[in-house]
Amino acid sequence: MTESAVVWFRRDLRVRDQPTFLAAADAAPCALALFVLDPALLGPSGAARRTYLFRSLRALDAALGGRLLVVRGDPADVVPRVAAGCGAATVHVAADFGPYGRRRDEAVEKSLADDGRALVRTGSPYAVAPGRVRKADGTPFRVYSPFRRAWTDHGWRGPADTDASTVRWLHPQAGDGIPDDDAVDAVLPEAGEEAALRRWHAFLDDGVQDYGSDRNRPDRDRTSRLSVHLKYGEIHPRTLLADLASRRSESAGTFRNEIAWREFYADVLLHRPDSARRNHDRAFDALPLASGAAARDRFAAWCAGRTGFPIVDAGMRQLRAQAWMHNRVRMIVASFLVKDLHLPWQWGARHFMGLLVDGDLASNQHGWQWTAGSGTDPAPYFRVFNPVTQGERFDPDGEYVRRFVPELRDVPGKAVHQPWRLPDGVPRGYPEPIVDHAAERQEALARYQQVTQAR
Interface residues with ligand FAD (CB under 6 A) are 215, 223-227, 230-231, 258-259, 261-262, 265, 327, 330-331, 334, 352, 356, 358-360, 363-364, 367-368, 371
The distance of closest approach from Cβ of residue 12 to ligand FAD in the complex, given in angstroms and rounded to an integer, is 15
C-beta of residue 207 within 8 angstroms of C-beta of residue 224: yes
Q: What distance in Å separates the CA atoms of residue 319 and residue 321, rounded to the nearest whole number?
A: 6
Looking at beta carbons, which residue is closest to ligand FAD? 367
CA distances from 69 to 5, 25, 98, 169 (A): 13, 18, 24, 11
The distance of closest approach from Cβ of residue 362 to ligand FAD in the complex, given in angstroms and rounded to an integer, is 8
Q: What distance in Å separates the CA atoms of residue 264 and residue 10, rounded to the nearest whole number?
A: 21
Measured from the CB atom, the residue of 8 and 255 that comes closer to ligand FAD is: 255
The distance of closest approach from Cβ of residue 22 to ligand FAD in the complex, given in angstroms and rounded to an integer, is 25
Measured from the CB atom, the residue of 68 and 196 that comes closer to ligand FAD is: 196
The distance of closest approach from Cβ of residue 110 to ligand FAD in the complex, given in angstroms and rounded to an integer, is 30
C-beta of residue 352 within 8 angstroms of C-beta of residue 364: yes
Burial pattern 401-422, b for ≥16 Cβ within 10 A else e, equals bbbbbebbeebeebebbbbeee
Asked if residue 263 belongs to a known ligand binding site, the reply is yes
Strand, helix or coil for residue 286: helix
C-beta of residue 193 within 8 angstroms of C-beta of residue 63: yes
Q: Count the Cβ atoms, other than its own, within 10 Å of residue 49.
A: 27
Asked if residue 274 belongs to a known ligand binding site, the reply is no
Asked if residue 178 belongs to a known ligand binding site, the reply is no
Instruction: Enter the DSSP assignment of 162.
Output: -
The distance of closest approach from Cβ of residue 16 to ligand FAD in the complex, given in angstroms and rounded to an integer, is 18
List the one residue out of 248, 253, 62 whose CA is nearest residue 149. Answer: 253
Measured from the CB atom, the residue of 162 and 371 that comes closer to ligand FAD is: 371
The distance of closest approach from Cβ of residue 91 to ligand FAD in the complex, given in angstroms and rounded to an integer, is 27
Written as one string, the DSSP assignment of 8-32 is EESS---SSS-HHHHHHHHH-S-EE
Asked if residue 282 belongs to a known ligand binding site, the reply is no
C-beta of residue 128 within 8 angstroms of C-beta of residue 156: yes
Asked if residue 360 belongs to a known ligand binding site, the reply is yes
The distance of closest approach from Cβ of residue 217 to ligand FAD in the complex, given in angstroms and rounded to an integer, is 11
Q: What distance in Å separates the CA atoms of residue 346 and residue 369, rounded to the nearest whole number?
A: 9
Q: Count the Cβ atoms, other than its own, within 10 Å of residue 12.
A: 24
Asked if residue 100 belongs to a known ligand binding site, the reply is no
Measured from the CB atom, the residue of 90 and 223 that comes closer to ligand FAD is: 223
Asked if residue 225 belongs to a known ligand binding site, the reply is yes
Asked if residue 193 belongs to a known ligand binding site, the reply is no
Measured from the CB atom, the residue of 131 and 354 that comes closer to ligand FAD is: 354
Q: What distance in Å separates the CA atoms of residue 64 and residue 349, rounded to the nearest whole number?
A: 36
Measured from the CB atom, the residue of 8 and 211 that comes closer to ligand FAD is: 211
The distance of closest approach from Cβ of residue 404 to ligand FAD in the complex, given in angstroms and rounded to an integer, is 16
Asked if residue 382 belongs to a known ligand binding site, the reply is no
Measured from the CB atom, the residue of 47 and 119 that comes closer to ligand FAD is: 47
Asked if residue 259 belongs to a known ligand binding site, the reply is yes
Measured from the CB atom, the residue of 115 and 250 that comes closer to ligand FAD is: 250
Binding residues for FAD: 211, 223-227, 255, 258-265, 358-360
Binding residues: 211, 223-227, 255, 258-265, 358-360
